[in-house]
Copies of this chain bind each other. A is one copy, B any other.
Amino acid sequence: MATAGLKTNGATDTRQRIIDVAVSLFTRHSFAGTSLQMIADEMGFTKAAVYHHFHTREQLLGAVVEPLFGQVRPIIEQAEAQRSRNARAEHMLTGYADLAVRHRALMSVLAGDPGVIDMLRAQGDFGDLINRQIKLFADLDPGPGGLVKAAVVLAGIAGAALPSSVLDLDDDALRQHFIEAGRRTLGLRTPRRPSRLAAPNAPAPR
């Protein structure tokens, strides 16, 4: 019986499994094309079992994007604390490329679906986080050209990270190529020191 999983794995595991299945269905059918019923069917659950954890698709979407938001926020804050425009953009770029590679399916849901973006902008500080990321890149070249380059880098890395993309690279190689493509677009030189991303929990320098 499928719902036996609810008991043996515990409620937290079930919640996480619903989130994982939701991401997978969102990337195949888009957010608007995925119902709680489809998620239940995919898991062999009743709709009531899914409803026990998430009452609406909006609530589920919030839970799906929460880990990504939780990771991008400190990257933005650490980037903003760097001393030079170049260091700020470099820190944001390496952090963003890392997230894109580690959350390929989720980034494609976020980047591509206009319904998702509108809902997230309405829901919380998503719009603010996007604008701060754009500013960190666009400050390298004040004016509309800098804004366009920033938008191309953010959309390009997220879009190219799509699991169905032509790219069949391991994570480390893909991350490094994203960083190099972003540096070229933004006109950033390769820094002499290795990126601080290797120790993401270290406090930002003051």
Chain B residues within an 8 Å CB radius of A181: 145, 148-149, 152, 185
Pick from B113, B147, B152: contact of A157, CB under 8 Å: B152
**A155–B164 contact, CB under 8 A?**
no
Q: A105 → chain B, closest Cβ, in Å?
A: 10
**A173–B159 contact, CB under 8 A?**
no
Chain B residues within an 8 Å CB radius of A187: 184
**B114–A114 contact, CB under 8 A?**
no
Q: A150 → chain B, closest Cβ, in Å?
A: 8
Instruction: Tell yes or no: A177 within 8 A of B by CB.
Output: yes
Q: Considering the chains assembled together, what is the distance between the CA atoms of A54 and B152 in angstroms?
A: 35
Chain A interface size, under 10 / 10 to 19 / 20 to 34 / 35 or more: 35 or more
**B160–A158 contact, CB under 8 A?**
no
Instruction: Tell yes or no: A86 within 8 A of B by CB.
Output: no
**B173–A30 contact, CB under 8 A?**
no
Instruction: Tell yes or no: A44 within 8 A of B by CB.
Output: no
Q: Which residue of B lies closest to A146 (CB)?
A: B177
Q: A167 → chain B, closest Cβ, in Å?
A: 6
Residue ranges of A at the interface with B (Cβ–Cβ < 8 Å): 27-34, 108, 111-115, 117-118, 131, 134, 144-145, 147-149, 151-160, 162, 164-167, 169, 173-174, 177-178, 180-182, 184-185, 187
